[in-house]
Every structure is written in C-alpha cells, then in structure tokens.
Structure 1
Amino acid sequence: MTYRDPKLTDQKTEFANNAYRDHSFPKQTRNYHILCDYLEFNAPYLPGMSIFDELWEAYLLDEEKNKH
C-alpha cells in the first residue's frame, strides 16, 4: 500500500488505491500466489498483472533492504 495517493493517477497508484478500498483484498498476506489468484479472479480494477508484478518486485527489494 506504499503507492497509495489520492492525487496521483498513474497505474501503480490507482491499483494501490483500489486494493486499499477492496475490503476482500488479502492485504496481510505475503504469499505471491495467494495475491495473484485473488487479483486474477476478483480485481476488475487491475488492467493487467504486469502492474502487480512490478510492484511485487519493488516490495521484495524493499524487504531485502530492510533485513540489513
């Protein structure tokens, strides 16, 4: 949810805002496959999985940086 912003309208921000408002979105999971499955079947607000994949990679990099 790092990309949430009420003023920006790029695809990553739109996805983050929509996922935040989606009460069924599994926000607490860190499992890529659970998130992908949910998005593929329940997220009409996501125009393509490539947006999620980019954000997932950024998330993994941030997690790795924060370990050290």
Structure 2
Amino acid sequence: MRRPFFSWLMTQRNPVTFDEVQTFANAAFYDHQFPKQAEDFESLSRYLEENASYLHSMSIFDEAWSRYLASEE
C-alpha cells in the first residue's frame, strides 16, 4: 500500500526554488481542503481542476504524479 500523494508532495517542498513541482508543493501546503488521504489520480485531478487556483497548469500535476509513482516503486 502506497502513501497518500499529499504526504509525498510535502517531501517536495522547498521555499527557494523555481521547480514547478516544488512550487506546487509549497502552495498545496496552504490548501486546507486538499484531499490529504487520496491515492488515486482521478480524484486528485478533479479536485485540482475545480479548486486549485494556485496550480497554473495541470501538466505540473501530471509531472508530480509521475514522480510520485516512480518514488513508490
């Protein structure tokens, strides 16, 4: 069983960075409604599309999701 995406994403935080995934992680940290226990792409994608104005492009989430899956192998 893999850890929730949010837990992984928080390991990517870096306050002095220009990497888009790290910037996403920094912003998600302050999103108190983020589905912290979610592990599936569809529910996370739906949430981000509808609620995450801080995510400038869904391709950033796609990149983060790829890194997340790779880290869990």
TM-score range, shorter chain: 0.7 to 0.9
Q: 2: distance between equivalents of 1:47 and 1:10?
A: 13
The partner residue of 2:35 within 18, 26, 40 is 26
The SS at the match of 1:6 is coil
Runs ≥4 residues deviating over 6 A: none
Aligned Cα RMSD in Å? Answer: 1.0
Match of 2:16 among 3, 7, 32: 7
Tell me, which stretches of 5 or more residues in structure 2 are unaligned? 1-9
Provide the TM-score with structure 2 as the length reference.
Answer: 0.80
1:19-42 residue CA offsets vs partner (Å, 9 max, x unmatched): 111000112210111100000000
Where structure 1 has 5 or more consecutive residues not aligned to the other structure, the ranges are none
- Greater helix share, structure number: 1
Q: Which has the higher contact order (CA 8 A, sep 6+)?
A: 2
Question: Which of 52, 61, 68 is the matching residue for 1:59?
Answer: 68
Question: Which structure would you say has the larger Rg?
Answer: 1
Identical-residue share of aligned pairs (%): 53
